[in-house]
């Protein structure tokens, strides 16, 4: 009998039974289901299970967060259900059955922009910082900016534009690369195609409007002429050109003999794609993109702007649930290209704040419910930093009314926002830091909008929650129970489970521990040492929807300079993921459990470039090599090689402090301190 047999039986029933499961797999922390009829899943009861840390639906998959014991849970689920698990990619393919044409298009758009988001956020922060130093008149009685009073900051302002220009003006290069990467064709050809769209030989897209038609340079082919116009910051022309390149390359691969394909396929594909891009697709895409941005701009600035703002502010959070919000990235970027700024992004940032403020209301209501606060607090923090999924899926949708309160607050703030014409220079910086992307003259107005986005959801949630929540919601299930329940031996969440699991592993019960192996003594653990050499960063800097938002627990990450992951403390190897070999779970001497995870989404590499150096059940000491990984392969596959350490079960740890922003030496530098 496995540890999670009963939980697995319950979960099978709650997802709608065996006949409702089209496919199931797992990654290092989550069970991934494709359900034939998703509406049959009882999400409320699933999330109430002790083994479940949360759930969400994404790209047609119903994902249940279990933690670093997911392998044990998955094995028990497969055994109980009789359903044969499949690979993660097969689950993704099966998930398409739950998506209509529009959802598939949105998913494709999201997958194109996802690798670009870190660069867009960086560019947005840089433009926001430049706003503060070159556009805010704060010096000499409000007559000069910082750049005007300091040559150093004037030089810094010019230098930072090097990065800002690379991010936004050269955006078509990133889009073409991302499309070819997603579609599995030659990425270098995509980069070259993108470069032809922003070449210095062309008239810069930003200069087109101010250039007389007769002065626009052309390619003269005798019997016809083509305008030499660049597509800096243009989204749709780049997407159309990139997909043309993809399908041309796939077409020529099918018809060209392999013996000459290395020469013929790239030549024909690239040349024809560039011709199509500049002769047809670029001009057409520009016109379509401009038409879309014109309609949106008219809605934001026209006679019905208050209605537009209210509707957009109210529905944006539900759009996040469906994934349709990814379309706004392309519209925002087109607005910036056409009008020098976007009025859409400020409302998105306000929606983030509003959902976070609804969670803040739940924090106040559930201040005596420690179990709820473990989800509420990190979810609220992540929302205020611009990532709403943990708050919406983990808190607001769970109770229902906080989600509606957040939507209402977002609508109110959006109305104020469009009324005052708040405009952003860039996108990517959401939540409270979103004010950095606002044009300087609108920063005070946006500050007022932020107050509305905080106050309205907070007050509404507190009032409604005072009436709707039950006693167990306010104080937690344990405190709401009769005293005899605890005395009957019902285990509490967290420490009890971790200690029990530790004892089982140390004794060799179900852990894979070999005879004669040393048992790990039970004692206090004061700290964790660096698990490899490199710069230590906070989880927030990972920009990952699970790790960054504290769903799995607190921790840190290291940008590695070495390629061998070491144990940060004396421990027992509890979990190894044999098919992907990119992560492992350890139990420390105090019963706490930690997860060590190499890279983000590296499960997709299916173990290529990863080698386990230990076995399940093995006792390891601080500094023992655990995993060897190939950093170059990870980067070539398009993933970050950051190595994450998460404390998934605290056991008797009362306080944790992670040391970030430093350069760490493997097995020497202390990166976490426990009390």
Sequence-ordered list of residues with C-beta below 8 angstroms from that of 374, at least 6 positions apart, any chain: none
The count of residues in the chain is 675
Closest CA to 623 of 568, 560, 572: 568
DSSP 524: -
CA gap 374, 550 in Å, rounded: 9
Q: Which two tokens stand for residue 44?
A: 């409320």
Residue with tokens 């109305």: 415
82: helix, strand or coil: coil
Annotated catalytic residue: which of 27, 176, 383, 449? 27
- The answer to whether 658 and 554 have CB atoms below 8 angstroms apart is yes
- Alpha helix segments (H runs only) across 420-470: 443-468
CA gap 13, 7 in Å, rounded: 10
Closest CA to 128 of 412, 327, 424, 393: 424
DSSP 644: E
CA gap 530, 671 in Å, rounded: 6
584 labelled catalytic: no
The dihedral over CA atoms of 569, 574, 579, 582, expressed in degrees to the nearest 10, equals -20
CA gap 246, 551 in Å, rounded: 37
What phi, psi does 92 have (nearest 5°)? -60, -40
CA gap 437, 418 in Å, rounded: 16
- Three-state SS string over 536-559 comes to EEEHHHHCCCCCCCCCCCCEEEEE
373: helix, strand or coil: helix
Partners of 674 in the beta sheet?
Answer: 656
Closest CA to 34 of 46, 21, 47, 17: 21
Return the sign of the alpha-carbon dihedral for residues 463, 464, 470, 473: negative
Based on the number of CB atoms within 10 Å of its own CB, is 184 exposed (0-12), middle (13-18) or buried (19 or more)? exposed
Active site residues: 27
């Amino acid at each position: 009998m496995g540890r999670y047999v009963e939980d697995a039986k319950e979960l099978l029933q709650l997802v709608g039974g065996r006949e409702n499961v089209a496919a199931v797999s797992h990654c290092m922390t989550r069970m991934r289901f494709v359900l034939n009829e998703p509406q049959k899943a009882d999400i409320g009861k699933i999330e109430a299970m002790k083994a479940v840390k949360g759930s969400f639906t994404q790209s047609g998959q119903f994902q249940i967060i279990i933690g670093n014991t997911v392998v044990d849970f998955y094995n028990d689920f497969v055994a109980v259900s009789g359903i044969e698990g499949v690979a993660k990619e097969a689950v993704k393919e099966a998930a398409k059955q739950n998506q209509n044409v529009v959802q598939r298009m949105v998913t494709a758009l999201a997958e194109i922009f996802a690798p670009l988001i870190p660069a867009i956020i960086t560019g947005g922060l840089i433009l926001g910082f430049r706003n503060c130093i070159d556009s805010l008149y704060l010096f000499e009685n409000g007559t000069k900016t910082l750049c005007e009073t300091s040559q150093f900051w004037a030089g810094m302002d010019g230098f930072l534009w090097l990065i800002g220009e690379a991010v936004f003006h050269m955006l078509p290069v990133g889009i073409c690369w991302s499309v070819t990467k997603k579609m599995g064709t030659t990425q270098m050809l995509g980069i070259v195609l993108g470069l032809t769209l922003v070449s210095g030989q062309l008239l810069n897209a930003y200069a087109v409007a101010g250039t007389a038609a007769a002065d626009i340079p052309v390619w003269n082919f005798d019997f016809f002429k083509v305008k030499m116009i660049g597509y800096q910051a243009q989204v749709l022309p780049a997407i159309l050109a990139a997909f043309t390149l993809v399908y041309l390359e796939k077409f020529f691969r099918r018809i060209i003999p392999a013996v000459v394909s290395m020469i013929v396929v790239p030549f024909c594909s690239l040349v024809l794609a560039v011709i199509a891009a500049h002769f047809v697709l670029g001009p057409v895409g520009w016109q379509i993109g401009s038409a879309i941005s014109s309609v949106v701009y008219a809605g934001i600035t026209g006679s019905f702007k208050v209605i537009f703002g209210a509707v957009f502010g109210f529905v944006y959070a539900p759009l996040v649930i469906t994934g349709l919000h990814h379309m706004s990235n392309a519209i925002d970027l087109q607005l910036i290209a056409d009008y020098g700024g976007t009025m859409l992004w400020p409302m998105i940032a306000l929606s983030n704040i509003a959902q976070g403020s609804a969670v803040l209301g739940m924090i106040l209501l559930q201040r005596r419910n420690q179990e709820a606060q473990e989800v509420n607090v990190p979810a609220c923090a992540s929302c205020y930093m611009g990532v709403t999924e943990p708050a919406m899926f983990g808190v607001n949708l769970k109770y229902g009314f906080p989600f509606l309160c957040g939507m209402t607050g977002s609508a109110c703030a959006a109305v104020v926002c469009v009324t005052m014409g708040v405009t952003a220079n860039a996108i990517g910086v959401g939540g409270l830091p979103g004010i950095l992307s606002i044009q300087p003259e609108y920063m005070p107005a946006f500050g007022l909008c932020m107050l509305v986005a905080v106050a309205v959801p907070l007050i509404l949630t507190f009032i409604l929650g005072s009436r709707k929540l039950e006693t167990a919601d306010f104080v937690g299930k344990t405190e709401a129970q009769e005293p005899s329940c605890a005395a009957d031996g019902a285990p509490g969440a967290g420490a009890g489970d971790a200690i029990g699991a530790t004892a089982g592993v140390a004794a060799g019960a179900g852990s894979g521990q070999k005879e004669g192996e040393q048992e790990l003594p039970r004692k206090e653990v004061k700290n964790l040492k660096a698990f490899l050499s490199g710069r230590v960063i906070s989880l927030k800097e990972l920009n990952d929807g699970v790790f960054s938002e504290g769903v799995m627990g607190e921790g840190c990450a290291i940008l590695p300079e070495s390629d061998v992951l070491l144990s940060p403390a004396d421990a027992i190897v509890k979990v190894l993921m044999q098919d992907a070999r990119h992560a492992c779970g350890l139990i420390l001497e105090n019963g706490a459990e930690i997860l060590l995870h190499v890279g983000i989404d590296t499960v997709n590499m299916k173990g290529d470039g990863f080698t386990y150096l230990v076995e399940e059940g093995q006792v390891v000491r601080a500094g023992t090599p655990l995993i060897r990984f190939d950093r170059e392969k990870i980067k070539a596959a398009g993933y970050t090689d950051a190595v994450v350490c998460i404390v998934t079960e605290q056991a008797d740890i009362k306080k944790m402090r992670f040391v970030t922003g430093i350069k760490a030496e493997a097995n020497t530098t202390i990166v976490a301190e426990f009390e």
